Every structure is written in C-alpha cells, then in structure tokens.
C-alpha cells in the first residue's frame, strides 16, 4: 500500500500505434513448421551443421589414430579406422532427435531437479542406443563384406563407450541449448522491432498504445485533452486527470495525432478540438480553450487558424 501511495503520477513511456496483424505474422503452430514440435527448416539446417562437424571430427580421429599406430609400428589401416568412426557417427546422428527432445523438455521443465532427471534419462537412453546400434551396424556391414565383428562385451568396454557418449551428449546438448536460446532471442527482437516500426496509417483508428519497455497503456484518442512539449519528453494529459510523460518530439507527435483532430494551438502545445466546449479570443490575438471537463488551455495568435472553425465562427483579427 505504501509503495502505491508513493508511486509517481507520471510514467515515462514510448508511443506504440496499434495495428491489425496479418495472418502470416501470427506465431506458427506446433508441427512441421515450428521448433516446438516437428522438424522445421531450421532444424534440418542445424542437423546438417552437426553432421558436417561430426564427420570432420571422425575423419581427423581416424587419420590421427592411423598416424599414431604407424609411429608405434602397428598396422595403420586407415580404411578400417574410418569405418569404426563413421559407423559411430551415423548412429549418433540418428539419435540427435532424442537430444532435441530432451533440450525442449528441459527448457520447459519448472525446476532444476526436473531438468536433471530429463538429462539423466536422455544420457542413459542415448548411450544404450548408440552402443547397440553401433555394434549391430558394424556386424551387419562386415557380415555383408564376408567378415565378422566382435565387440568384446564387458563392463569395462561399456563404461569406456559410456564415458565417450557422456562427452558427446554434453557437447551436442549444450550446442542445441544455445541454438534454441539464440532463436528465441531473435524471435523476441523481431517481434519488438515489428511493434516499434508500425506505421500510423496501419494503426487502428481508435487506439493508441503508450509503451514503457514491456509495459503498455492503451489510450483512446478521444480521451486526450492536450499534449505539451517538456524538453526531450512529451506530456499527455487525459480527460480523467491522468498524465503520461513519454520520450519524443512535439513535431512527430503532431504528425501522428493530426488525424484525430489534435492540432497545434501553441508552439509547445497540441489540443484535442473534439473535446473543446468553448473558445475565447482575446484582444491580443491569443485565445483560451475550455474543454468539456472544465479544464482550460491557452493558445497563441499564430495558431488561430487551427481553431477558427470551432463553433462555426471565424476568429477575430
């Protein structure tokens, strides 16, 4: 309660003009065209990038292993080493959707414990499927070639492969997380730019949005009594006594509000002629406007033509 009583009466906001949204601007539904569900064009691009990097790493590992074996005096069969690497990479790429699913669910999970549980399940499932798929792919390929493959199954071998899978899951998962974060940031930035770049002629004829960061205040133009320049800010005065201070120039505001019959009556002021109940012209040439709520606003003689038609009379010279 104390905070609401001490809050300032004016707010520094930026004007945003309301507009009709085209159908193509609506958020895409989950499915084949959205990141939240299905596979989109961006997903395929990301998958291709991961595949290219994995392939390059596999080739380097195979060549490095062959070179190390040659230095030790062992067999440096590059073709066989490439086969070991590529068979593992193929299975990893087939399992990438599991990691995409895990990253999506982790970003939606409400707490750290839930995220850790999803990560653990994804890691165990990924490793089990990778080891199984890699072994059977090698067995099948070598059987077709008239040879055989023995995995030498043991706890030590499984732990050895699991350790490598854990590193792979961490690196791929972190990459997917960063890609998703960047995509959401860009989406939010584009939405903000679209809102800020809305043109007045596209706006709804009966609404104005006064915006302060992520907060927006909707104002009907007919509720505006007058607008005044205040340094680098513009002060909106509404019929209910509310005032809003926004950053901007009076010239830009005049251009935006002219279609609402809000016109310049002084070097530093605009007035809503639709809310004027009477006008008094003074001998000096200046004039005073009285609004329908009893408030008054002075105007200068330079802008007498702006109010000359009020009441169907001509302003005196």
pLDDT at 15 over 70: no
Give the model's pLDDT for residue 21: 42
Give the model's pLDDT for residue 128: 92
75 vs 160, more confident? 160
Stretch among 59-63, 163-167, 204-208, 310-314 having the lowest mean pLDDT: 310-314
Q: CB-side exposure of 79: number of CA atoms within 13 Å?
A: 1
Cα–Cα distance, 136 to 140 (Å, whole number)? 6
- Tens of pLDDT, residues 209-226: 776 555 677 888 888 999
- Confirm if 291 and 275 have CB atoms less than 8 A apart: yes
Angle between helices 96-108 and 78-94 (to 10 degrees): 40
User: Which regions of the chain carry the CATH code 2.40.50.1020?
Assistant: 208-312
Give the model's pLDDT for residue 306: 83
Task: Rounding to the nearest 10 degrees, give the CA dihedral for residues 118, 121, 123, 125.
Answer: -140
pLDDT at 32 over 70: no
309 vs 252, more confident? 252
The verdict on domain 208-312 having CATH code 3.30.465.10 is no
pLDDT at 23 over 70: no
Cα–Cα distance, 121 to 28 (Å, whole number)? 30
pLDDT at 190 over 80: no
DSSP structural state of residue 313: -
Average pLDDT, the chain: 77
pLDDT more than 70, % of the chain:
76
> For residue 279, what are the β-bridge partners?
289
Closest CA to 15 of 184, 262, 298, 303: 262
- Confirm if 237 and 243 have CB atoms less than 8 A apart: yes
- Tens of pLDDT, residues 258-298: 888 889 999 999 999 989 998 888 888 899 999 998 899 99
* First vs last C-alpha separation in the chain: 54
Give the model's pLDDT for residue 200: 43
Q: With bands split at pLDDT 50, 70 and 90, how would you rate the model's confidence at 192?
A: low
Residues 6+ apart with CB under 8 A from 257: 221, 224, 227, 270
Give the model's pLDDT for residue 181: 83
Order of strands across the sheet with 215-219?
215-219, 208-212, 12-16, 243-247, 233-238, 224-230, 269-272, 262-266
pLDDT at 204 over 60: no
pLDDT at 124 over 90: yes
């Amino acid at each position: 309660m104390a905070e609401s009583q001490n809050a300032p009466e004016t707010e520094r906001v930026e004007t945003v003009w309301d507009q009709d949204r085209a159908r193509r601007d609506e958020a895409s539904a989950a499915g084949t065209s959205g990141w939240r569900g299905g596979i989109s064009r961006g997903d395929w691009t990301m998958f291709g990038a991961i595949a290219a990097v994995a392939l390059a790493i596999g080739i380097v590992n195979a060549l490095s292993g062959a070179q190390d074996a040659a230095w030790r005096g062992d067999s440096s069969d590059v073709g066989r080493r490439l086969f070991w690497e590529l068979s593992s990479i193929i299975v990893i790429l087939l399992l990438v959707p599991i990691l995409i699913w895990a990253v999506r669910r982790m970003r939606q999970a409400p707490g750290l414990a839930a995220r850790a549980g999803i990560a653990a399940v994804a890691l165990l499932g990924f490793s089990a499927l990778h080891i199984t798929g890699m072994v059977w792919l090698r067995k099948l390929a070598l059987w077709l070639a008239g040879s055989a493959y023995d995995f030498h199954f043991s706890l030590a071998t499984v732990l050895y492969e699991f350790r490598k899978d854990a590193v792979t899951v961490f690196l791929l998962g972190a990459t997917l997380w960063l890609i998703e974060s960047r995509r959401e940031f860009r989406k939010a930035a584009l939405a903000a730019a679209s809102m800020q770049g809305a043109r007045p002629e596209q706006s709804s004829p009966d609404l104005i949005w006064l915006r302060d960061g992520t907060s927006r205040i909707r104002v009907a133009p007919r509720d505006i009594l007058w607008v005044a320049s205040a340094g680098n800010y513009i002060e909106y005065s509404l019929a209910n006594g509310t005032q809003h201070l926004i950053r901007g120039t009076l010239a830009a505001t005049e251009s935006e509000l002219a279609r609402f019959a809000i016109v310049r009556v002084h070097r530093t002021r605009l007035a809503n002629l639709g809310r004027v109940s009477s006008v008094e012209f003074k001998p000096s040439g200046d004039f005073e406007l009285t609004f329908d709520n009893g408030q008054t606003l002075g105007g200068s003689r330079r802008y007498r033509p702006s109010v000359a038609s009020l009441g169907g009379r001509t302003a005196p010279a």
